[in-house]
Structure 1
């Protein structure tokens, strides 16, 4: 379980760097208290990632004898995540305005926005991929910690540095990490390691 926790924390932290969710977190932090934004993000992330590990867990149990090919597919998925990261994710002006002008409590506004934003996002897909091969509980806790930590970093950095983030460095570093994870999974699934 601890291996799954550490792996999923690292993978999801990297996946979240430069993601639209981080931009949403910074935007919400300009309107609401950081504590409320973090609680909303944590609740939404825990729900989305619980569904993700459930999907991954049942896929993994159904296809246990196909672990090699699944590892190769997971590796290819991580290479796709690398390309997706390089392509970038931007918050449109309309999305930024909706985040700033959300009605209702901060927790509800942030929670609903993050829940909807994460459905089908690369972090959800990465969590499903990890849950196919790793302990579901460790993956769930680790993926939640990784995403919340990355978004907390975005809030902190956004508050300190404004919008002057080294976006290219973050983007290339995250993509490189996905490539490394992808190549390792493909090598393992093909029986090369």
Structure 2
């Protein structure tokens, strides 16, 4: 394995773990796993995160081919510094993970009530008609899998970790970034599904934010001091 792959893997793994612990999608996976079969929740959440990681890395890999390499390098450097300062700001000004957890729980409770109402109405319809009315995807995948996938995928879209993955793939070996990102997502999602609420309550959110902020700034300095390869 080349040095560039190892470097991209290491950066991506550390960045992903620090970004995802205590994130909204982390809490969503934890709450869903308390209400539904864990294997379906884990497979749905992890599938969404793998797809998101690959898409983000592809965007980062393609960026230098669409715009000058120096521009993508400079943008990536600014992103790292920006995310680092953002994380440090959140560490000292965040209201706490309790509010974030409450927000995720409220949204999932609202979705569950809506699903319950729909299922009660459907009980009046015969099984054959109900099967025909089901969306095409639910005929091939479990509704729980699709729910976990959609909540995670759209929850991660435009998130700090996604943008950071794009920037990292533009500056590092994309293959290493994908491997590290998937490994980090797998670790965090498995932890969330197996006991995310209790785990998150034992980890200081401030420490996680401070660590990720420092890490992003270190990445920023490393990117700033590195030579652009044309």
| Shorter-normalised TM range | 0.7 to 0.9
- 1:7-26 to 2 correspondences below 5 Å: 7-26=11-30
Report how many aligned residue pairs link the two structures. Answer: 189
TM-aligned CA deviation for residue 95 of structure 1: 3.4
- 1:151-162 to 2 correspondences below 5 Å: 151-158=189-196, 160-161=198-199
Q: Which has the larger radius of gyration?
A: 2
Q: 1:85 to 1:40 in 2, by over 3 A?
A: farther
Aligned equivalent of 1:147, options 173, 179, 185: 185
Residue aligning to 2:59: 55
Q: 1:178 to 1:17 in 2, by over 3 A?
A: farther
Q: Please say if 1:166 is aligned against 2:211.
A: no
Deviation readout 1:60-91 (Å, 9 max, x if unpaired)? 2234542xx53333122112222333425763
Please give the TM-score of this superposition, normalised by the length of structure 1. Answer: 0.81
Aligned partners of 2:37, 2:198: CA distance in 1, in Å?
15
TM-aligned CA deviation for residue 112 of structure 1: 0.7
Aligned partners of 1:179, 1:147: CA distance in 2, in Å?
22
Asked whether the equivalents of residues 34 and 155 of structure 1 are also in contact (C-alpha less than 8 Å), the reply is yes
Aligned equivalent of 2:173, options 131, 135, 141: 135
Unpaired segments ≥5 residues, structure 1? none
Residue aligning to 1:4: 8
Please give the TM-score of this superposition, normalised by the length of structure 2. Answer: 0.70
Which is further off, 178-187 or 28-37? 28-37
Unpaired segments ≥5 residues, structure 2? 116-141
Asked whether the equivalents of residues 56 and 130 of structure 1 are also in contact (C-alpha less than 8 Å), the reply is yes
Residue aligning to 2:38: 34
TM-aligned CA deviation for residue 121 of structure 1: 0.7
